[in-house]
Amino acid sequence: MRKVLVLLLIMSFSLLSVSFLSAEENLKINEDFSNSIAGFGKNILTKEYKKENTVISPLSIHLALDMLYNGAEGKTEKEMKKTLCYPSNIDKKAISQQSKLIMDNLKSTDSMVLEIANSLWAKKNVKVKKSFINNSKKYFYAEVKNNTNPSLINKWVSNKTHKKINKIVPEDLQIDTALINAIYFNGTWFSKFNKDITRDRYFTTIKGKKIKVPTMYKSETMPYYENDKYQVAKLSYKGNKMSMYVFLPNENSSIDNFVKDFSEDEFLNASKNLKTKKVNLYLPKFKTECSFELTESLKELGMKSAFGTGADFSGVADQLFVSKIIHKTYIDVNESGTEAAAVTAVICELGASPNSFKVKEISMIVDRPFFFVLSDDESNIPVFMGVITEPKY
């Protein structure tokens, strides 16, 4: 009888373990969490846009700050939660789980490359909490380095972005702790543009100047939507997992107002209303690199205490505050597809306190400033987004 009871107890514990495991394994990307990345990305883009080519990676910035948020406490935690647009009913563990799910789901396939990497760098004299290190490893797959030499950090960044971004921090920067996220994407269009028919066409810049830019062309059925404010076409990459949405504001409207008024709800509405149409699409080739210091933008969005001696990152280490947050992006859009990279560095210092059918053809001639979102098709998470006011290649 005793043996039977012991066996039953062992079986019960086994079943409990399996149920807990399957509960974590069966988690799905929360739609509200996806929307928080889109909303936060839009807020950052609005702050950083200065009437010139502006490309950011909302996902890169969010993941770097998600990792940091796990060590935030008190007022700093509340400010970060609001700034990052987290759903009100989500706690720290759930945020870490969602970040892990994103990294598990957004990865390379046979037809495209999508690599996301995180790292935690700390000087040997900085006593980073073991729980923070474990969380960073478990949920963010972070590499942990007991060194903050800028040349080593830059070498890591260059390697993770396939040499598209070679430097994220100055060589003479004093760093106590750093959290780094890097993203690299390389996708081929599901239907490529024919290089032989790319021609120079006029493009009217944000300053009203007409310039000639190499413009790609294709005429085929594709997901398309328009309203009284803009046209949008969806261009898929091979594998049908990632897509680029190209938004072209109407001629009588400005790209400035479009960027200001655009929201994650607008993006979701456009993506849900796409219909297969025959479209004559003219799209400029463009290649651009951007660099931002996000400190002031994040302060304006509500994340103030993180940057001063009033910061409370006691869940990371004692007397730690954020000194700067650096974000860099690279993108190349051409006839074959898109190559893009992004890096976000959170630099911390120690301080003194804690359908295919026949339809009417449509023309979409992208000959003026436009907006784009490169996102995951299943979750609608924006990996990259930006404004192109003057295409250069």
User: 263-288, pLDDT tens digit by residue?
Assistant: 888 898 899 999 999 999 999 999 99
* pLDDT given for residue 18 in this prediction: 37
User: Looking at the structure, do residues 314 and 224 belong to the same domain, yes or no?
Assistant: no
Which domain range does residue 381 map to? 195-285+357-388
Are the CB atoms for 54 and 65 separated by under 8 Å? no
* pLDDT given for residue 155 in this prediction: 98
User: Looking at the structure, do residues 107 and 164 belong to the same domain, yes or no?
Assistant: yes
Give residue 37's identity as a one-letter amino acid code.
I
Are the CB atoms for 364 and 329 separated by under 8 Å? no
User: Looking at the structure, do residues 240 and 297 belong to the same domain, yes or no?
Assistant: no
User: Looking at the structure, do residues 160 and 37 belong to the same domain, yes or no?
Assistant: yes
269 belongs to a structural domain: yes
pLDDT digits (tens, 9 = 90+) for 228-268: 999 999 999 999 899 999 999 999 889 999 999 998 888 98
Q: Whole-angstrom Cα distance, residue 38 to residue 44? A: 10
User: Looking at the structure, do residues 87 and 141 belong to the same domain, yes or no?
Assistant: yes
User: Looking at the structure, do residues 155 and 221 belong to the same domain, yes or no?
Assistant: no
Q: How far apart are the first and last CA of the chain?
A: 79
Q: Whole-angstrom Cα distance, residue 359 to residue 280? A: 12
